[in-house]
Amino acid sequence: MNEQLRNQARIFIIDDEAANLKLLGKMLGSRNYQQLVAIQDPRQVLDRYRAGRPDLILLDINMPHLDGYQVMAQLRALDDPLLPPIVILTAQHGRDTLLKALAGGARDFIGKPFDMAELLMRVNNLLDAHLAHRMLHDQKGILEEMVRIRTDELHQTRLQVVRRLGRAAEYRDNETGYHILRMSEYSALLARRLGWSDAASDLMLNASPMHDIGKIGIPDAVLLKPGRLDAGEMAIIRNHPEIGASILAGDESDLLRLARTIALTHHEKWDGSGYPAGLAGLAIPQAGRIVAVADVFDPLTSRRPYKRAWTVDEAVAWVIGSAGSHFDPAVVGCFQAHLPEILAIRDQHQEPQD
């Protein structure tokens, strides 16, 4: 251990006898220990400890007000993961005394009267061990923080990829990135208000942009056709949930599993008339039922080259009227109860006007 580092260690000397404090101070000072804290009243130990954690404690056993065992009990109660080693100062060498002190947390003993060579050797050895332990502990904390930062960076990168893929699908369908922002925030809000945890709602926010990723696999002649689709073209367009689910399959992260569920089920309808599987009622995962409402309401209130924007009142009335047929009545009820929050999101992410 670096001698300079050792000499900067903070050492508590706790003894009710002023003469002992002075003697120990002189002994340790002779070896250039520079941060010696003498405490004559054991009732001050906790406050002094909190003010500056020591690297070693020399502790007398027999003291008024609080004996050494009680002081050790107070220190243990702090649950400090790096409690410094405690060396008992005692003139008692009986087996019971030593065992009780060890059980209380002591690491070593120094007998009275003090032998200077023994004292300095024990202090030196214990400080070396403790300071090495502290360095490992600090290094572990640094490594854990580095791992946390890197994990967060990877998470953010994954989110960016997910968002951009979602936007790519929307652009193929003559939609805009603002639709993605609005419908994903609508979906997260509804999920939270329906009792999802903050973490799960955040997953909804980041998974729902992938709902139409399967449109990447739909031919332009069908996806971008300006007029009405015939039956064959509708059959093709209705393949996009399964295409999206296939694209998102194979990853076991919570984010992509939720995205796959949403992609596969957000066109299912409460009455069973949706696609691709014709699921009905509670057989449709709640995530799909939530996104179904968000993904329909937003386009209704948005202007596109091929249609006018419905008024908010018209769109809300249509959503409410579709409860029990297209939509889950519980999700629609939540939508209606929190409409001011939905409209605030809509206003926040308005598309630029031409």
More confident: 161 or 250: 250
Instruction: Read off the pLDDT band of 173 (50, 70, 90).
Output: low
- Residues 9, 53: contact at Cβ < 8 Å? no
CA–CA dist 307, 256 (Å, integer): 33
- Taking a C-beta distance cutoff of 8 angstroms, is the pair 237, 222 a contact? yes
Q: Domain-by-domain residue ranges, the chain?
A: 3-144, 177-348
Cα gap 160→353, rounded to integer Å:
26
What does pLDDT average to over the chain?
86
Question: Model confidence over 223-238: pLDDT tens digits?
Answer: 878 778 889 988 998 9
Q: Using 50, 70 and 90 to split pLDDT, how confident is the model at 90?
A: confident
Could you tell me the pLDDT band of residue 101, with boundaries at 50, 70 and 90? confident
Res 269 pLDDT > 70: yes
The CATH superfamily assigned to 3-144 is Response regulator (3.40.50.2300)
The per-residue b/e assignment along 80-114, b for 16 or more CB within 10 angstroms, e otherwise, is eeebbbbbbbbeeeeeebeeebeebbbbbbbeeeb
* The pLDDT of residue 134: 77
Is this model's pTM higher than 0.75 or not? no
Please list, in sequence order, all residues whose beta carbon lies within 8 angstroms of the beta carbon of residue 197, skipping any fewer than 6 positions away.
none
Mean pLDDT of 296-319: 84
| CATH for the 177-348 domain, from 3.30.420.10, 3.40.50.1100, 1.10.3210.10, 3.40.1390.10 | 1.10.3210.10
**pLDDT score recorded for residue 151:** 67
String of b and e for 258-275 (b: at least 16 CB within 10 Å)? bbbbbbbbbbbbbeeebb
Q: Strand ranges (DSSP E) for the chain? A: 10-14, 35-39, 56-60, 86-90, 108-111
60 exposure class (CB count in 10 Å sphere: 0-12, 13-18, 19+): buried
User: For residue 113, is the peptide bond before it cis, meaning its omega torsion is within 30 degrees of 0?
Assistant: yes
Predicted confidence band of residue 164 (pLDDT cuts 50, 70, 90): low
Report how far Cα 164 is from the mean position of its chain's Cα atoms: 24
pLDDT, mean of residues 152-165: 67
**Gap between the Cα atoms of 30 and 32, Å rounded:** 6
- Residue with the bigger pLDDT between 321 and 248: it is 321
d(CA 126, CA 113): 20
Q: List the Cα angle 223/225/231 in 5-degree steps.
A: 80
pLDDT of residue 305 exceeding 70, the answer is no
Could you tell me the pLDDT band of residue 169, with boundaries at 50, 70 and 90? low
Helix (H, G, I), strand (E, B) or coil at 310: coil
Residue with tokens 């500056």: 52
Torsional class of 60: left (φ above 0), alpha (ψ -120 to 50), beta (otherwise): beta
Q: Which helix (H) or strand (E) holds 125?
A: helix 116-172
Query: pLDDT class for 201, splitting at 50, 70, 90?
Result: very high
